[in-house]
Amino acid sequence: MLLVSGELKDKAVTIDDASQYSGERIHLVFENSRVKALEPATTRVFLGGG
């Protein structure tokens, strides 16, 4: 997420991951640091901060 909000903040970025707990696939699409699409819809995205 640090990459998306920093180095890649002006880019269209797709991230494929999986839940640490259930193993369920996670698919995220960002544009200009903002979430454009995410699956599953219940995914919570933390973009950094204190």
Residue 14 touches another protein, criterion: CB under 8 A: yes
**What's the token pair of residue 35?**
């979430």
Asked if residue 48 binds another protein (CB under 8 A), the reply is no
By the 8 A CB rule, do 1 and 47 touch? yes
For position 24 contacting another protein by CB under 8 A, the verdict is: yes
CB of 15 to another protein, least distance (A): 6
Provide the token pair at 34.
């903002």
* Residue 4 in tokens: 């998306």
List contacts with another protein (CB under 8 A): 2-3, 7-8, 11-18, 20, 22-25
